[in-house]
Structures are given as C-alpha cells and as structure tokens.
Amino acid sequence: MTHTVLTFVAPVNPQKVDELRSLLNEIGKDVPGNRHIPFTSFRLLHFASLWLIEGTDVDGYEPQFVFESNFDGPLDTYLDELFDRAADALHLLYGCCVDYLGTNAGDRALIVSYLRAHVLRPNASYIGTAGRTLERVKQESALIDGLQLCLDDLVKKGEAGSPPRSIREKLQAFVRTRPELVWALNSPRRLTSAEQFMPWVRIIGGALIAVVLLLVFFPIVLLAVIELRYKETHDPPTPKEDKSHTKKLADREDRTHIVQNHMAHITLVKPGLFRQAILRTVLWATNLVAGISIKGKLLGIPSIHFAHWSLIDNGRRLLFVSNFDGSWENYLDDFIDKGSIGLTAIWSNTVGFPSTRFLFCDGAKDGVRFKAFARDNQRYTNAWYSAYPDLTVQTIDNNSNVRDALFAPLDDTATREWLWRF
C-alpha cells in the first residue's frame, strides 16, 4: 500500500487574503475540533497543513494558498473523501482564490476538478512510515497499548521471571481472546515486491544514465564545476535572523508536547539557468534516494514522517514541507550532523544559504547561520493536522515490528529480543 504526498497550490484573490487568513487561523486554533473540516473523521489522511504564502512586494509574488496532504492510496479516493466530508469548507476556502468559479458547495464536479487542476506533485518526496496506512498505524498502536497493559499485569503477578517463551504465549493468548484484535493474527507485508523493487530499478537506472552523461559531457561538467565555484565565492552572505519572525514561528511549535512539529519553508531559487539545472538535478537524485529509504530514515535522520520539495512559480521558488518528530532545534541539528551534504546540495541553490564549496561542502555545517537561514525562510503554518500526534516514526516502526513477529515462529533468542521491544 503506498502513500500519496502532494500539495494543492492556488492563487489567492488579493482582496480576500484577510478573509482566507482568518479562516485558516480559525481552523488552526483548534484543528481537531474546528467547525469547517472534520479532520478526525478522515480515514486516509495522515498529515495535512493549510497555510497562506503571503504576497511579497519585494519580489512581486501574489499570495497563494497551500494545502499539503499526505494520505493513503491514489488521489481520486482522497478527493472523494475530501469532498464528502468537507465540501462546504472547500467552497469557502477556494472561494478566496482568483480562479475558483464555484457557486455552491454541492457542485462536486467543479470542486473536484478545481482541486485536480491545482495539484502540485513534488519534485522529491520522502515517506518515513513506508507501507503503513493510517488504519494500520492506529491499529498497531492500540495493539501495543493493550499488550503493554497485559505485560504490566503479568509483572504485577510476579511472572517477570518466567521463561520468555511462556510470557510470549500469554501475550498471544491475550490477542486471541480479543475479537477486536482479530486482524493482528497475521501480518500482511508492508510493501509489495514491486513496491520494494521498483525504487531500486529507478535509482540504478538513474545512476547509469548519470554516469554516461557525465562521461559524454565531461568537458562541459568540468566547466560547470568551475562556474559553480565562481558563483559560490560570489554569493552574498546570509542575512541576520529576524528575531520577531522566529518568535512567531516558535510560539506555534511544540503544542503536541514536543512529540511532533511541522515546517513549511519557501526559498528563492538563485537566478539563472545554471542554478535551476543543478537544483532540478539534485532534487531528482534526492527523490531516487528517498525512494529506497524505506527503513524510516532519510540520510540517517530518523524523525521524518513526510517531507516534500516542490518547485513553484515556474521554478523560481522552492517549497519544502516536513512533518517531523521532536523539536525544531533537534530536527535542524540532525540536518547539520547527519544530512548536511544532501540538504546543502539542495538549498545552496537558493538565496541566503550559508556559503558552500563544491555544492556539498560547508553550507549547513555553519550551524548558527544555517539555523538563521532556516528560520528566516520558514513560513507560518496557519493550520496543521496530525492524525496521530503522539506517535513518532520510531514508535510506529517498533509497533509494526512487534506486530510482525507476534505470531511468527521465533527461537529463544529472538523471543527474548522481541520482549525487549516493550
């Protein structure tokens, strides 16, 4: 079962920016309980964010409305769910957009095709909980909660010293006697063979093509490296952090007891075809790498649920959205300590990034400047929804691993190790 990650991006009618902003803020104030979109009743949606890219006089960009969605299955079923549950809200929200022609919330064909027309598929995306549907994440979480309590009981009765095998049998018996846990008696594969196999085909194919192109166009590549070095040494320095902007962002964070946070980010791509080409190439490669990263880690970063990069405004700006575990500071530290090469390669093509060498080096290693860059370009997320705000990628993985092995044949060592997961 695969996920779809995308954003709907629509141009906002400048006269209706205030109206849209206050609508979004109203939803954001109490996301689970808001009267417009009944998120908690959605059956496919993992994470969503709804926010306004405010227009900037400096660059002449018009305001835009971003609706980020990370959901199970293909677009069509999600659009159905969206319309069935939130048609009024869609009509209201998109009523603030320039090219929306709907006259009433009952016009299914129009609203769905409007959404379809504004779908932006990311240039690169990453999914941390590969193969787990919303239903499966929630089921497995409930299963482990139940097993934990059962284990508490066994310990209380003084059975902690029993052989691991017999403790496991008691846990199995607990599941067998619960009709509501009947689904846990077996564990379907997270990904089909094809889903596991295809990303490898793509990345190997991609690597081969890259090598061939590199050899064929070697002199041009060499010139490009020199050009890059020249540009790198002539980029303006990172501007100082705007502290009041950062305060506004930070005030929004850590509302789920620091378990999860959201980051929306927009940067201006450095002018010229050269940077455009490099950025597109790097995003293409990132997408291939992300495709084979199905063990819950991207470049060693274990805390990302869903992340995507999309070029907007004809490639002039780079949109990044991420739903991650832990604090902003921790996420950025992971970027710096673990993922600095990858993200330097991406964001060094955008304005204000700390200075780099040869695309991959330095850049994000300058922790203080990198964080200032990240804060300055971060956008205020008016409304953000998580279907499971207290679960981390690590916990979701651990839950799945417990479930996978619950009824599998295990030897004594594996049985003990399985019990350590609790």
Partner 1 sequence: MVELEYPDIQGLILSGYGHLPCATYVLLRVEDGPAARRWLARILTEVTSAERKQDKASVNVAFTRQGLEHLGLDADTIQTFSRAFSEGMATEHRSRILGDAGEDEPAKWNWGGPDRTKAVDILLLLFAVDELELDSLIGRHRASFSQEGIAEVSALAAGRQPDNREHFGFADGMGQPAIENTSPGKKAAARNLLKAGEILMGHINTYDKVADGPTVRADRDPRRLLRDGEPGLRNFGHNGTYLVFRQLAQNVADLYHFLDEATRTPTGQLDPDASSRLAAKFVGRWPSGAPLVLSPTKDDPSMADADDFGYFDQDPRGFACPIGAHIRRSNPRDSLGPDAVKGLASANRHRILRRGRSYGHRLENPRVDDGAERGLHFICLNSDIERQFEFVQQTWINNPVFGGLHGEVDPVIGYVARGDAIMTIPADPVRTRVHNIRRFVTVKGGAYFFLPGIRALRYLASL
Distance CA 16, CA 25 (A): 14
**Contact between 173 and partner 1 (CB under 8 A)?**
no
The site map against partner 1 for 349-368 (x = CB under 8 A) is ----------------xxxx
Half-sphere exposure of 183 (CA within 13 A, CB side): 10
Report how far residue 53's alpha carbon sits from residue 12's, in angstroms, rounded to the nearest whole number: 9
- 85: amino acid identity, one letter: R
For the bound state, the minimum distance from the C-beta of residue 380 to partner 1, rounded and expressed in Å, comes to 14
Query: Is the CB of 88 or the CB of 333 nearer to partner 1?
Result: 333
Per-residue mark of binding to partner 1, 16-45 (x: CB under 8 A): ------------------------------
- Chain positions 78 to 117 lying near partner 1, rule: CB under 8 A, are none
CB of 229 to partner 1, least distance (A): 21
**Could you tell me which stretch among 88-96, 187-195, 219-227, 250-258 binds partner 1 (CB under 8 A)?**
250-258
Q: Smallest gap, in angstroms, from Cβ of residue 38 to partner 1?
A: 24
In the bound complex, what is the minimum distance in angstroms from residue 199's beta carbon to partner 1? 21
Cβ closer to partner 1: 115 or 391?
Answer: 391
Beta carbon nearer to partner 1, 167 or 228: 167
Exposure of 419 by Cβ count < 10 A (0-12 exposed, 13-18 middle, 19+ buried)? Answer: middle
Rounded-to-integer distance, Cα 282 and Cα 228, Å? 14
Residue 402 and residue 391: Cα distance in Å, rounded? 15
Query: Count residues contacting partner 1 (CB under 8 A)?
Result: 49
Closer by beta carbon to partner 1, 241 or else 313: 241
Nearer Cβ to partner 1 (230/420)? 420
**Residue 147 corresponds to which tokens in the numbers above?**
């097993």
> Cα(203)–Cα(270) distance, rounded to whole angstroms?
27
414 contacts partner 1 (rule: CB under 8 A): no
Q: Does 119 bind partner 1 (CB under 8 A)?
A: no
Smaller CB distance to partner 1: residue 243 or 316?
Answer: 243
Q: Which residues contact 107 (CB under 8 A, 6 or more apart)?
A: none
The residue within the footprint of partner 1, chosen from 99, 103, 135, 160 (CB under 8 A), is: 160
Beta bridge partners of 312: 317
The CA-atom distances, in angstroms, between 24 and each of 4, 61, 203 are 23, 20, 39
| Residue placing its CB nearer to partner 1 in the complex, 99 or 390 | 390
Q: Which of 57, 156, 193, 237 binds partner 1 (CB under 8 A)?
A: 156
Should residue 386 be labelled a site residue for partner 1 when binding is judged by CB under 8 A? Answer: no
By CB under 8 A, the residues from 253 to 282 that bind partner 1 are 253-255, 257-259
Contacts with partner 1 in 207-246 (CB under 8 A)?
A: 241, 243, 246
DSSP 118-167: TEE--SEEEETTTT--HHHHHHHHHHHHHHHHHHHHHHHTT-TTS-HHHH
Question: Per CB under 8 A, does 316 bind partner 1?
Answer: no
148 binds partner 1 (CB under 8 A): yes
Task: Give the shortest CB-379-to-partner 1 separation in angstroms.
Answer: 17
Residue 237 phi/psi, 5-degree rounding, is -70, 160
Which is nearer to partner 1, 16 or 338 (by Cβ)? 338
Task: Render the burial of 320-336: b for 16+ CB within 10 Å, e for the rest.
Answer: bbbbbbbbbeebbebbb
Strand partners, 127: 306
Q: Which stretch binds partner 1 (CB under 8 A): 1-9, 181-189, 327-335, 378-386?
A: 327-335
d(CA 415, CA 402): 11
Q: Which long-range contacts (CB under 8 A, 24 or more apart) does 230-238 make?
A: 231/270, 231/274, 231/275, 232/348, 232/355, 232/356, 232/357, 232/358, 232/359, 233/355, 235/270, 235/353, 235/355, 237/355, 238/352, 238/353, 238/354, 238/355, 238/369, 238/372, 238/373
The identity of residue 308, as a single letter, is: H
Stretch touching partner 1 by CB under 8 A, among 33-41, 72-80, 104-112, 247-255: 247-255
Residues at the site binding partner 1, with contacts judged by CB under 8 A: 148, 151-152, 154-158, 160, 164, 167, 241, 243, 246-247, 250-251, 253-255, 257-259, 300, 325-327, 329-330, 333, 336-338, 365-369, 390-392, 394-395, 398, 415-416, 419-420, 422
